[in-house]
Structures are given as C-alpha cells and as structure tokens.
Chain A
C-alpha cells in the first residue's frame, strides 16, 4: 500500500479533475439549451421554403429540375457532419461506424464515393483512411453559420449538377433526447418531389423571373438549409453527449475519491498502529 502522503496528493489531483469535468458538464448543459432554441429558430424558414417548392413544383409539373431527377448510380457523394471537438463520448465514432459499412458496400458494387467533411473530427478520422475527400469545412463553432457551410455544400451541388456524382447523402447525428443521439444517413439528392396538395388551387403566383429560374435558387437554398439544420442538430447532439460523458466522468471521479479516501484512512491507521507498537516496544525494552 502506498504511503498516506502519496494517496493524499492523488486525491487532490482527482478532485481537481472532478471540478473540471463538473464545470464542463454545466457548460454543455447551458449550451445545449441555447442550441435547441437555434434548432427551433430554423423551423419557420424551412417550412416556408418547403411550401414555396411545392407551389413552384405544382406550377409547372412538366419541368424536371436536375436536382429532382434520379440517375443511374456510378458515383456517390456524402456530406458528413461531425463535431469539431472531442470529449463527447462515442458520438463521432458511432457515426463513422454507421457510415463505413455503407462506404464498403458501395465499393463492393464498384461505386466510388466522394466525401465532404463538416467538422474537424471527420477530417481527422478520414485522413487515415483511403477515401476521396473533395471538400472540408471545420471550426464552425457552437453557432454554425450558413455562410461557413455554403462553400462545402456548393462543391457537392456542383458535382451533382455536372454529373460527377449521381446521389448525395447527408450523414449526421439526430437528437432523440438528451440521453440518446442516433447517427442517420439520409438522401439529399435527388430530392424527392414534394407531395401535391390535397385541394386544387384556383390561383397561381406571378413569377419573377420565371418559375424554373426561381426553382433553381429555391432548391439550392432548401438543400443548404437542410445541411445547416443538420449542423445545428449535430451541435445539440455534441452538447448532450458531452454533458452525459462529463457527468459519468464526474461520478467516476467521486467513486475513485471514495476509494482513495478509504485507502488513505487505512494507511493512516496502519502508521499510527505501527508508531504505538514501536513506542510500546521501546518502553518494554527499557
């Protein structure tokens, strides 16, 4: 058993670690609340833009925008949203675990994949693998801005327009609740045509310029919105996962301190007993 003094220093160091993890937990909790309100703030825009697309689509159903047409798959693209920082449990690892089998499946079919990485952890992870990374965007922070994502998204949309990829997926974590986040892969392109509205309309918009031109701009914005929402949701997931991970760390530190305290008491007791025995032994010798 280690000496009482060493145990005391160890307790001290574990205690300071515990303080840090506790603070991180609190910070993550407050950031989580803020991010959740950001998630809600994006909703009106997304709903409205979906309505507009439905209207535009109804206005000229014969026009097929390239984003809405499905093609034979020769090459695929993935936009992978990850966190910038670690200490958030298995959040990113679970996402990669979900993605890698899919990539392997495509490879088996002779289909190559292009990746667009959002978040530093994704860049770190895929650097070690032999994959084709065409765009990356990192350090978005806790408040990702659309302007920071546009570049990366544009690369992928251009690739789809020019026929370099035939399908585009979005990979990110879905916020189920504070305790659980689920990695998900969804198809971004070809975008599914919005379902027609139940009632026929007796009026139509005046379009300026024309509907097809508008549809192009609106669809691009719609896709960017989806990536933006994924990025915001991923931040919420990161914060939730971090909160849970830090709570576990704090609890573990508490347990460790308890055990060390016990050891310390035992060591202290042992040294006192030894001292008494020595005194008694010394007295008996006299």
Chain B
C-alpha cells in the first residue's frame, strides 16, 4: 500500500494519457472509467496492476471538487499501476476494415507507381484525400452506431 507525504493512504490516482503524436491529458483522479475490451472498467486508487486493450469509447475521469473530464479514445492500451493509470491512445481510428481500406489504398498507389501512370500530382493528392475522407466518414458512422447502443 502506498501513502502520500502526510502519511494518509492515497485517495487519488495519477492519470496519464499519451498518444504517438503527443501528450493528451495528465492529472489526478478518484475514479477513472475506461471502455475495456472485455467491458467497462472503473479504476480507483490502489487498483491491482493490469494491462488491457481498449475499444473506442469514452474515458471519464472523476476527481473531487472538479468537473468530470470526458475524453474520447479510438482504442488503445490501458496500463494500471497502484498509483498510476496510463492510457496509450491510438491516434488513428482502428476498426478492422478501416485498416484494410488503408492497406488497399497503399497497394493501389504502388500499382500506379509501377505502371508509371501518374496523372497530375494534384489529382493524386485529391484522390487520396477523397479516400481518406470516405474512410473517416464510414468510421464516424460506425462509431455513431456504437454510441447509440451504449
């Protein structure tokens, strides 16, 4: 069991949320609610060490005397230590077939490169953006549906 400087047992847990592209959140909490792969989790101070995958959903961070913080994660990994919660958040939407769309796109680009049928670069770029936009739209739709179920 860990105690703070005054000798009291810890009533808060440190929360750290990071992604590859940067730091997202850090602060103390009394309770952290996460969308775990096997179900929602409420993590209180002095929770047993744990590792789990996250599904897309809301992370809620509750602290005494502060407004509840809502954060939306698109998946990732949750690491719990007795005094610290770390969320390694995915920056990208990562539904299975979304990955596939991206892979398919990469393959298509490679084929184009091989054929040498480049077209104008602007056009290529625009197409890429279009595919990206379509993928994002689909993901958004999907997530929307999921939210309603919750």
Interface of A toward B, CB cutoff 8 Å: 38, 41-42, 44-46, 48-49, 52, 55-56, 116-117, 120, 123, 126-127, 133-139, 145-148, 150-152, 154-155, 158, 203-209, 211, 213-214, 217-218, 221, 224-225, 228-229
- How many residues belonging to B are interface residues under a CB distance threshold of 8 Å? 44
> Cβ of B38 and Cβ of A135 under 8 Å apart?
no
- Bits for B31-43, please: 1 = Cβ < 8 Å to A, else 0: 0000011100000
- Secondary structure dominating the interface of A: helix
Using Cβ atoms and an 8 Å threshold, which residues of chain A touch B18?
44-45, 48
Q: Which of B101, B102, B104, B128 contacts A139 (CB 8 A)?
A: B128
B116, chain A: closest CB distance, angstroms: 6
How far is A158 from B51 in the complex, measured between Cα atoms in Å? 25
> Cβ of B106 and Cβ of A147 under 8 Å apart?
no
B22 at interface (Cβ–Cβ under 8 A)? yes
How far is A89 from B137 in the complex, measured between Cα atoms in Å? 39
Using Cβ atoms and an 8 Å threshold, which residues of chain B touch A213?
53
> Cβ of B51 and Cβ of A214 under 8 Å apart?
yes
Using Cβ atoms and an 8 Å threshold, which residues of chain A touch B51?
52, 55-56, 205-208, 211, 214
How far is A44 from B18 in the complex, measured between Cα atoms in Å? 7
B107 at interface (Cβ–Cβ under 8 A)? yes
Segment 105-133 of B: residues with Cβ below 8 Å from A: 105-107, 109-110, 112-114, 116, 121, 124-125, 128, 132
How far is A228 from B19 in the complex, measured between Cα atoms in Å? 12
Q: Which of B20, B103, B110, B116 contacts A45 (CB 8 A)?
A: B20
B64 at interface (Cβ–Cβ under 8 A)? no
In the assembled complex, 7 residue pairs joining A and B whose CB atoms fall closer than 8 Å, in A order, are A42-B22, A134-B107, A145-B91, A152-B106, A208-B38, A209-B53, A217-B53
